[in-house]
Amino acid sequence: MKVLQHFKTITYHKYLVMKGCFAVGLYWQGLTHDLSKYMPSEFLVGAKYFQGTRSPNNAEREAKGYSSAWLHHKGRNKHHYEYWIDYSMRDIEGGMYPAPMPVRYVVEMFMDRVAASKVYNKDAYKDSDPLAYFMSGKNQNLLHPKTRRQLWILLRMLAKRGEKETFAYIRERILKKKYIL
């Protein structure tokens, strides 16, 4: 088990999300982001499957066919779109449908993706990395269309205009409701 390495990784990730959230005015979300990762049901699994180059949840998923840590995590953290999936009253395949996420959680999800890209790509990080990761995702249809559009706008802005301008836009336009995503 790689307890210290995992602790350092999740703490650095949490710090980066907190720094981003503070920069746009989401202080409480910055402080409370990913606290469940320190709970034994998530932390011990993370330490067991730690590699340092990707989420340990993926390694657990490969070993067991599912990730118990992820199932615990997504049910407690509103910045994950999976938290917002519910049964649908509509006649749709699978019976599940995503609800739109409140914009403050879309912004936290954006900060989460930026921080994860920085943690795993280290010195090779580019502002286009979070967008590239999003575009390579297989389950974009599990995001509510409005949420997907909001996240895509922010990731694209980051890739084209950089962190400083994107964070200012979030702080001054999005969160002050001068512009609705």
Cβ–Cβ under 8 Å, residues 141 and 110: no
Task: Give the integer Cα–Cα distance in Å for 10 and 44.
Answer: 12
Task: Give the integer Cα–Cα distance in Å for 170 and 163.
Answer: 10
Does residue 180 lie in a domain region?
A: no
Does residue 179 lie in a domain region?
A: no
Q: What is the pLDDT of residue 171?
A: 96
91 in helix, strand or coil?
coil
* Structural domains of the chain, count: 1
Q: Which pLDDT tens digits describe the chain residue by residue (181 residues)?
A: 999 999 999 999 999 999 999 999 999 999 999 999 999 999 999 999 999 889 999 999 999 999 999 999 999 999 999 999 998 877 666 688 899 999 999 999 999 999 999 999 999 999 999 999 999 987 777 899 999 999 999 999 999 999 999 999 999 999 988 666 6
What would the two tokens of residue 166 be? 């994107």
- Class of residue 159 by CB neighbours under 10 A (exposed 0-12, middle 13-18, buried 19+): middle
Does residue 24 lie in a domain region?
A: yes
Domain of 41 in residue numbering reads as 3-174
